[in-house]
Structure 1
Amino acid sequence: MPRIIMALMLREMATTYGRSAGGYLWAILEPILGIALLSVIFSLTLARPGLGTNFPLFYASGLLPFLMFNDISGKVASAIRFSRPFLAYPSVTFVDILIARILLNALTHTAIMAIVLTSIVTIYQLPVVFDLSAIFKTLLCVTILATGVGTLNCYLSTAFPVWERIWSILTRPLFLMSGIFFLYGMMPPQAQNILWYNPLIHCIGMMRQGMYPTYQGDYLSPGYVIGVSVVLFVLGLMLLERNYKRLLER
């Protein structure tokens, strides 16, 4: 199994990044350009960010976990379609394919996050000390959440191709509803009561706890994130186990 997973990871690295002109460079440039654009826009309208005094660092704390979730869940959702030919081999299962995509993309985004945050701290000479244990907990929660959502969507988008488009429409507001721009405590109470049930807002809050020692985040509930993730993952895994051979014939 480890050899199969490694082979699948190497194959995806070659097909996903090897064919583009910039390769992994584009994966790094995407969050950097996004953070730079947000910083310029909001620095013109706001006197200071929600936490600290540095706009790029504040938006990196929200944008990086969001991009990580979005990418991993999307890659897991398309895992069977991406590696359909390999499932013809008896030694390769859909679980191997899921694990390979999760590991590769989680490691990629962890490296991207380290590069972006280190660059911001170095360029702006910020006297910050990150809580690495809190950041690691955030990365773990984001990966687990993306795995749960992606596994369920893997079945739904393979069984019902229209679901991919529906999901894309349903999740567009997540960029505004996950606390990337504003802190949870700055939102109206009515909005807080609704947005608390968005697991991503907890993940981004945990990330900011690891980057800003003074940030309390009393609303945060890692248990809620893990609970939602496990339920979605188990449901998706059960549906795939029962139906993935039939899905391959579609």
Structure 2
Amino acid sequence: MSTRFGAKPGGYLWAFLDPVSHIVFLSVIFMAIAHMPPLGTSFPLFFATGYIGFQFYQAMAGYLNSAVSGNKALLSYPSVAPIDTVAARYALQLVTTAIVAIVVLGYIVFTVRHPVSIHLPPILEAIAAASLIALGIGLANTVLFIMYPIYEKLYGIITRPLFLVSGVFFLPDSLPPIAKDVILFNPLAHIVMQFRTGFYPQYRAAGYDGFYVWCVAASLMFVGLVLFTSCRARLRDR
């Protein structure tokens, strides 16, 4: 935590500035063009549940991708294995995003006009699925980025639109059938939908498929672990 945030002005405060700035920006823009959010009556709550739910994947995946390459000095110690760097970053990012979620969402919930009924099980399940998908991708990317530098550039280009197609600022189930079917191929859209059900009891999340999400998470974890384990000696030598 000290290494990641200590060198920045404001330190750990930067972990909060990113989601807050995005939530404020989206709220201001959409309040200017719409009278009500797609769910509830609070624009900040709607966008916060979308953005923070998405961040449990996005921030985690981005931080894990460079777990080994960013900790080469640690790997000079025989007792430190490449998987240790991934585990440490996974724990740090999960705790950081959870703290940000509690503080930001807690503030919004306590300041909205109407009481918010929070249901924890779907929130926790969405967090678990998002972080495990990110972990599987991070394990694979740690190897692939080192072995194939061009893949890192392609990955950045391909995943850039994820924010736009994961249901952060809209409801996938409100789209026309063809668009809805395309969007729901993205497991992150399901995760954001489920995360929101924990804050909006009236939201039915039509089209949500938990089995599909966990199949994707299990498949990515399997592929990531196989790649990482088979290349662990090469990761230490690079």
* TM-score between the two structures when normalised by the length of structure 1: 0.91
- Name structure 1 gaps, 5 residues minimum: 1-12
Partner residue, 2:71? 83
Matched, 1:111 2:99: yes
Partner residue, 2:121? 133
Matched, 1:170 2:168: no
- Say which of 11, 14, 17 aligns to 2:2: 14
Superposition deviation, residue 223 in structure 1: 2.2
Partner residue, 1:203? 191
Corresponding residue SS for 2:95? helix
Superposition deviation, residue 125 in structure 1: 4.0
Partner residue, 1:233? 221
Higher mean displacement: 222-231 or 195-204: 222-231
CA distance in 1, matches of 2:32, 2:8: 35
Superposition deviation, residue 124 in structure 1: 2.8
Counterpart amino acid of residue 94 in structure 1:
P
Superposition deviation, residue 116 in structure 1: 0.5
Higher mean displacement: 99-108 or 121-130: 121-130
Matched, 1:53 2:41: yes
How big is each residue's C-alpha offset from its partner over 1:119-165, in whole Å with a ceiling of 9 and x where there is no partner? 11223344111101221111111111111121111111121122222
Matched, 1:71 2:68: no
Partner residue, 1:101? 89
CA distance in 2, matches of 1:189, 1:222: 19
Aligned length: 238
Superposition deviation, residue 94 in structure 1: 1.7
- Name structure 2 gaps, 5 residues minimum: none
Query: Is the CA contact 1:62–1:179 (under 8 Å) kept in the aligned structure 2?
Result: yes
Query: Is the CA contact 1:27–1:112 (under 8 Å) kept in the aligned structure 2?
Result: yes
Matches within 5 A, 1:213-224: 213-224=201-212
Counterpart amino acid of residue 170 in structure 2:
F
Corresponding residue SS for 2:8? coil
Counterpart amino acid of residue 227 in structure 2:
L
Higher mean displacement: 173-182 or 122-131: 122-131
Compute the RMSD of aligned alpha carbons: 1.4
Higher mean displacement: 57-66 or 220-229: 220-229
Judged with a 3 Å threshold, the aligned counterparts in structure 2 of structure 1 residues 168 and 236 are, in CA distance, closer, same or farther, namely same
CA distance in 2, matches of 1:68, 1:22: 22
Counterpart amino acid of residue 117 in structure 1:
L
Superposition deviation, residue 16 in structure 1: 0.7
Counterpart amino acid of residue 198 in structure 2:
G
CA distance in 1, matches of 2:154, 2:221: 20
CA distance in 1, matches of 2:59, 2:150: 19
CA distance in 1, matches of 2:155, 2:121: 33
Query: Is the CA contact 1:65–1:139 (under 8 Å) kept in the aligned structure 2?
Result: yes
Partner residue, 1:37? 25
Query: Is the CA contact 1:154–1:236 (under 8 Å) kept in the aligned structure 2?
Result: no
Partner residue, 1:4? none
Percent identical residues: 38
* TM-score between the two structures when normalised by the length of structure 2: 0.95
Counterpart amino acid of residue 153 in structure 1:
N
Query: Is the CA contact 2:31–2:43 (under 8 Å) kept in the aligned structure 1?
Result: yes
Judged with a 3 Å threshold, the aligned counterparts in structure 2 of structure 1 residues 194 and 91 are, in CA distance, closer, same or farther, namely same
CA distance in 1, matches of 2:114, 2:10: 30
Superposition deviation, residue 218 in structure 1: 3.0
Query: Is the CA contact 2:82–2:235 (under 8 Å) kept in the aligned structure 1?
Result: no
